[in-house]
Structure 1
Amino acid sequence: MGSLAQVPDPGSRGFDIDTGDERPLRVFVVHKNGAISAFYNRCPHTGAPLEWQPHQFLDIENSFIQCAIHGALFRPEDGYCLRGPCAGQALQQIMVRVDDAGQLVAELPVHPGASVPDQ
């Protein structure tokens, strides 16, 4: 994916993951208070990308993930929607870890029928 050093704390960054398909898988990472979380870059309400500028997925206070389309607010630790038209739903989270070299490694589903959203 990329390096953890590319994601400020607090902050966020989008990444495209090459899965061998025609289009890369669009994801983003949130880094806040030393913790990292990652999600598919897709609003559960409209399916649209979430960022309002390149790599800007958080609100102005860096407190919540904010959808650029309708302003929905999501918790950065688990993607749960607190406010907006998709309240009570959640972003689709992916597992991510930092390897010994400081690289972000996404752990994507690999079995048939795995839940990977259309991009």
Structure 2
Amino acid sequence: MCASVDLVDGGLAVPFDVVYGGQTCRAFAIRWQGQVHAYLNRCSHVAMEMDWQPNRFFDDTGQWLLCGSHGAAYRPDTGACAGGPCRGGLVKIGVTEQDGVVRWHTAFNLQPFEF
């Protein structure tokens, strides 16, 4: 998917495509507190892409992922709703980081976050 150095803590995301529900959808990977996390780029409030500018998901503090359309906030480590008009959490995508490379699990069964 990308080189490890492409993901800076609280910085820009790296976009990629996945198949979800039989359709090709955008997804994104971010780094937060040293760990890589990836999610389907789809707000749980309204099924639309979240980035408020290209590849920007973090708020100004670098602590929350925000939906640029309605202000829903999500935890960067779990995708759980942290505030705003969420209906559940983000769909998490499994990733690994090894030898300076980040990869997503193509065989991973994408599941919505459950409480």
Sort the Cα spacing of 1:54 and 1:37 in 2 relative to 1 into closer, same or farther, 3 A: same
Contact 2:74 2:83 in 1 (8 A): yes
Instruction: Give the % identical residues.
Output: 30
2:97 — aligned with what? 98
- String of CA shifts for 1:10-36, please: whole Å, max 9, x gaps: 2241322376xxx85411112122111
Sort the Cα spacing of 1:75 and 1:56 in 2 relative to 1 into closer, same or farther, 3 A: same
| Counterpart mapping for 1:27-106 below 5 A | 27-86=27-86, 89-100=88-99, 102-106=100-104
Runs of 4+ with deviation above 3 angstroms: 114-117
Scaled by the length of structure 1, the TM-score of the pair is 0.79
Cα RMSD over matched residues? 2.2
Scaled by the length of structure 2, the TM-score of the pair is 0.82
Unaligned runs of 5+ in 1: none
Aligned residue pairs total 109
Unaligned runs of 5+ in 2: none
Sort the Cα spacing of 1:18 and 1:67 in 2 relative to 1 into closer, same or farther, 3 A: closer
